[in-house]
Amino acid sequence: MKIEKLEVSQHLDTRKLYEEVFSEDEKSFVDYYYQEKTKNNIIYIVREDDDIQAMLHLNPYILMVNGIEKESYYIVAVATRKEYRGRRYMAGLLREALLNMYQAGVTFTYLMPAAEAIYLPHDFRTMYEQNIEYYAPEEKLAESITVQAAEDKDCDEISAWAQKELARKYQVYAKRDKNYYERLLKELACEDGKLIIYRKAGQIVDVRPYYEESKETEEVEKKEAKPKIMIRIVDVRRMLMSLKLKSLMAVSFQITDPLIPENNRYVTMTGTEFSGLMLMDGKPETSEGILPVSALGELVFGAKTVEEISKEEGVSMSGRMASELEKIIPLSRIYLNEAV
């Protein structure tokens, strides 16, 4: 298996495989994707028999995590040509991407799985279900509310409103600057969609996507399905130092990671509700338990409680360690609703 990281000038070479594997995507969306998203993304491929047989795309996002900006990547377009499946190309691509993200200082990565079972062996776990509210022309609005379709000139104002709203409600979300909304308008337009602004007394109070009738059934199905988002920790040290605490804590334990060797370590966590979490290298003789990186992720993002992860394979912890881990404030308020 030969894995390559493509130059930006080579990104278009993957379109043939994209259209073959994701045949349900409309041409207008694929045009948008290759004109906009591949300008600055990273694409890894497996080349066999003088052609691209598998690929994985990393689409960059700045995420806000407890009020701090962190560079991250949304893993999309993971695909293998039908005749070449079963050769562990995807596993190789994922490992290569994870190792390179670690070297780049990425804290965690995420994806929307075609099937959760595909990514569980690679320590991704479901942490969030997308929840998008759509504009419906038939909905009855209060007399004080007006609606209009957003244009490029509105993106600064939308961004300012969204950043305040998201910071108030969530701990983890994509930073939504002017460029984010300019690109979103193009993404919606390629599928006959619009972004609708709700205003009250001239001020923005909400924004929601809207699709023409031809897309209505499909979008309702998407809404009801609530696509899942799976997250994987890339750098355990950066992840742990992003956390806040409920009260004074001190605990030492071992972390295991089968894919990223640098994450295999003993750590000592200390801190208070005022200082946040502080991290030091731990020692085997002071360790109170073991947490695989997948279980640590579930705890950090609030997908499972301490008691629930204590029953998982590979986990061991003393009663005192369990009590100390309860003092972590999980990153459970997540808003990652991007499509690509």
Q: Exposed e or buried b for every residue in 103-142, given b needs 16+ CB within 10 A? A: eeebbbbbbbbeeeebbeebbbbbbbebeeebbeeeeeee
Query: What radius of gyration do the chain's Cα atoms show?
Result: 22
pLDDT band, very low/low/confident/very high, at 31 (cuts 50, 70, 90):
very high
The per-residue pLDDT for 214 is 57
DSSP 174-188: E---HHHHHHHHHHH
- For residue 156, pLDDT over 90 is answered with yes
The per-residue pLDDT for 225 is 75
In contact, 155 and 185? CB cutoff 8 Å = yes
**Domain range list for the chain:** 3-106, 145-225, 236-329
Question: What rounded mean pLDDT belongs to the chain?
Answer: 96
- For residue 257, pLDDT over 70 is answered with yes
Fold of 145-225: Aminopeptidase (3.40.630)
- Quick one: tokens of 20? 């073959």
Closest CA to 142 of 94, 201, 190: 201
Sign of CA dihedral 37, 39, 41, 42: positive
Q: Note the helical H segments in 41-122.
A: 89-103, 116-119
pLDDT band, very low/low/confident/very high, at 224 (cuts 50, 70, 90):
low
pLDDT band, very low/low/confident/very high, at 222 (cuts 50, 70, 90):
low
Q: What is the mean pLDDT of residues 256-268?
A: 98
- Quick one: tokens of 27? 């041409």
How many beta carbons lie within 10 A of that of residue 93, not counting itself? Answer: 24
- For residue 233, pLDDT over 70 is answered with yes
The per-residue pLDDT for 212 is 84
- Quick one: tokens of 167? 């910071």
The per-residue pLDDT for 101 is 98
Report domain 3-106's class. alpha beta
- For residue 6, pLDDT over 80 is answered with yes
CA separation for the pair 250, 273 (Å, rounded): 12
DSSP 123-152: T-EEEEE---PPP-TTS---TTEEEEE--G
CA separation for the pair 306, 300 (Å, rounded): 10
pLDDT tens digits for 187-220? 999 999 999 999 999 999 999 999 986 555 565 5
Given this chain, do its domains 3-106 and 145-225 carry the same CATH topology? Answer: yes
pLDDT tens digits for 56-103? 999 999 999 999 999 999 999 999 999 999 999 999 999 999 999 999
| Helix, strand, or coil (residue 101) | helix
Q: Name the percent of the chain lying above pLDDT 70.
A: 96
Which pTM does this prediction carry?
0.96
Sign of CA dihedral 33, 215, 141, 339: negative
CA separation for the pair 197, 115 (Å, rounded): 34
In contact, 35 and 12? CB cutoff 8 Å = no
Residue position matching structure tokens 């394979």: 313
- For residue 54, pLDDT over 80 is answered with yes
| Helix, strand, or coil (residue 239) | helix
Phi-psi domain of 6 (left: phi exceeds 0; alpha: psi -120 through 50; beta: other): beta
Q: What is the mean pLDDT of residues 40-55?
A: 97
Beta bridge mates, 335: 173
Q: What is the mean pLDDT of residues 277-300?
A: 98
Beta bridge mates, 75: 58, 111
Beta bridge mates, 254: 266, 290
The per-residue pLDDT for 64 is 98
| Helix, strand, or coil (residue 339) | coil
pLDDT band, very low/low/confident/very high, at 36 (cuts 50, 70, 90):
very high
| Helix, strand, or coil (residue 82) | helix
Fold of 236-329: Nonspecific Lipid-transfer Protein; Chain A (3.30.1050)
Q: Is 176 exposed, middle or buried (0-12, 13-18, 19+ CB in 10 A)?
A: buried
In sequence order, the 6+-apart residues with CB closer than 8 A to the CB of 284 are 254, 266
- Quick one: tokens of 263? 């994450």
CA separation for the pair 124, 183 (Å, rounded): 28
The per-residue pLDDT for 310 is 98
The per-residue pLDDT for 220 is 57
pLDDT band, very low/low/confident/very high, at 223 (cuts 50, 70, 90):
low
